[in-house]
A = this chain, B = another copy of it.
């Protein structure tokens, strides 16, 4: 394990999202996996971002991250427009219908690790092409702990490359459907077992409104963190990336990586996910306090713990 407070680097997308939910519609608001992740993680540790944006990405957009202390020197500027996603959530808010995916500058994204980022002890490979994920990991020999995400698109389209990348990932975070598809097994515990055989020492499977389960090396005693039963979910976009940010951010803030740290990291992941969905886009993640986070952590404990 790296030193506590060794910086956490994330490589992923910075994007503009056009989002429609039963609670309203917002056009081209700041989003992307690296954005949600870094904002969520910024409440726990020093965070650095590698991503690419276009000419429509302004200083005001960047300030959303830098105001939270996020080091954005790894955000490349390219000619053209920033990645744009447009989607809509129906009444149950569990699944988005994609209306539009304009990759724009993201299509030719070649992640570059700035020299100043080489001392990052923790790395999170957000959901990008597994070939790029592996390149970033390989270019950072000093990294001690690597978390990773992926999605059905890569599982289906680049399974071989993804399996090479998984050998470099210590903790994989995926949702139910991705875990089942990756493992080709409909039982989540068995799927976790099979995924760990591909490389990751631990697997976190996210169940949306039902929380998330971490399967450890022995596969005997997993641990389950709840999600908060919220009356109103305004915008589910970024919930998974915010979970990952809270999870990795808390781990990076600790000096050790034992079972108890991972369990608490699961709770902090759920906490940050629950905040993210209360408002559109990253709004709620921009203005939290550590006190609000700790209060919600206690609510999660109350939600699950016997006396």
Q: A residues engaging B (CB < 8 A)?
A: 91-93, 186-190, 193, 207, 209-211, 213, 215, 221-226, 229-233, 260, 263-264, 267, 299, 301-307
Instruction: Tell whether, in the assembled complex, residue B305 and residue A304 are in contact, meaning their CB atoms are under 8 Å apart.
Output: yes
**Residues of B contacting A92 with CB < 8 Å?**
186
Residue in chain B with minimal CB distance to A223: B303
Closest B residue by C-beta to A185? B91
Tell me if B304 and A188 are in contact (CB < 8 A): no
Contact A305 B303, beta carbon cutoff 8 Å: no
Can you give 10 contacting A-B residue pairs, CB < 8 Å? A189-B230, A189-B231, A210-B211, A213-B229, A221-B302, A224-B226, A224-B303, A225-B304, A260-B306, A267-B306
Q: Contacting A207 at CB < 8 Å: which of B190, B210, B260, B302?
A: B210
User: How far is A307 from B193 in the complex, measured between Cα atoms in Å?
Assistant: 25
**Alpha-carbon gap, A231 to B222, bound state (A):** 12
Q: Could you tell me the distance between the alpha carbons of A238 and B89 in the complex, rounded to whole angstroms?
A: 34
B residues near A302, Cβ cutoff 8 Å: 221, 223
Q: A91-B186, A221-B303, A267-B306 are in contact. List 5 more A-B contacts (CB 8 A).
A: A210-B210, A211-B224, A221-B302, A260-B307, A304-B305
